[in-house]
Amino acid sequence: MKVACIAGARPNFMKIAPILEAMKPHSNLEPLLVHTGQHYDYQMSGVFFKELEIPEPDVYLGVGSASHAVQTAKIMMAFEETTLEHKPDLVLVVGDVNSTMACALVASKLHIPIAHVEAGIRSFDRTMPEEINRIVTDAIADYLFPPSDFGRENLLREGIAADKITVVGDVMIDTLFKFRPRAEQTTILADLALKPKSYALMTLHRPANVDVKENLVAILDAIEQIQKRIPIVFSIHPRTKSRVESFGLNDRVASMTNLKIIDPVGYYQFLNLMINAKLALTDSGGMQEETTVLNIPCLTIRDSTERPETVEIGTNTLVGSDTNLILSEATKALDGKGKSGTYPEMWDGHAAERIVQALANL
């Protein structure tokens, strides 16, 4: 069975890596790795292929950056040509980026079965582009692999047949467990003059936070106070860097002497920073899962999450862009009163094996 495995953006690479690895012992599965090029520069793509031991893509679509509509259309046009040429028996998509939905749509119209890894997760916030991508992909997928029972219940409520759904766990955690020893060998802490548990780690990139000046200022108001107490390592996304400049906030940010701004780093380095952080502040989906497994208090700068297990049983707290709420929850964490928790039983590092076994059984 030829399986077209789709990867488009940085979060996809961490999810597709363990699946490709798990396919190796199965002679009846032939992976065809398709990189759409949604993320394309070295720090957002190339370094992840190298560190996560992902083979060179069989097909590189090279779509690049554009608006959601244009990017989705370009992926669909390019991937249709790929499917007609390579004739996959199954299209496997992961996550919720534009590449996920675009390739699923193409497969559906060409009557090629679709498997969706990380199915069923919902924020119930349709202002998020990712939410639309999830809903559409799940509606047309033939095999749905949610990371936990939360995802399964969402799918059942939406009318998805139970026999299409298999709870498998979280492939992001497979990658974390596999590469943690290598991550801990990196010198990133020494390079940044940091000591374990003596700093906070922050990422910020969602349009609701960085494209709206009032929200970005409210977040910076909180960060300005927090960095007076503990150094904050801010791995700045290109989008966020651009907005800080266009909103005239460069001087404000530069005045925060305990805010260490770094460009995006490789997976090993970032994982080491996360493992050793005392607190995480983020609007990323993956970090909510990873910090929960690592038992690190995480403040999610969003009003909703598609990963409720990280809030209900994990270490995650939703704070939105509310300056006072961010400050109060950060103070709790820095005082040793942050959330401690656990994580779903199937987040055990073997999700990819379950997915591939299900595909092999087809």
At CB < 8 A and 24+ separation, what contacts does 78-83 make?
Answer: 78/36, 79/6, 79/34, 79/36, 79/103, 79/106, 80/106, 80/110, 82/4, 82/34, 83/4, 83/107, 83/110, 83/112
Please state the separation of Cα 14 from the chain's center in Å.
8
Nearest partner of 62 among 41, 85, 87, judged by Cα? 41
35 is catalytic: no
Q: State the amino acid at position 35 in one-letter form.
A: H
Distance CA 288, CA 286 (A): 5
Strands 200-202, 143-145: pairing is unpaired
Query: What do you get for the CA distance between the two ends of the chain, in Å?
Result: 9
- Beta-carbon contacts of residue 34 (< 8 Å; ≥ 6 apart): 4, 5, 6, 7, 57, 58, 59, 60, 61, 79, 82, 103
Q: Which of 39, 205, 237, 350 is catalytic?
A: 205
Q: Where are the alpha helices (DSSP H) in the chain?
A: 10-23, 47-51, 68-86, 98-109, 129-140, 149-157, 171-183, 188-191, 207-210, 213-226, 238-246, 250-254, 267-275, 285-294, 308-312, 323-334, 351-360
Catalytic residue set: 205
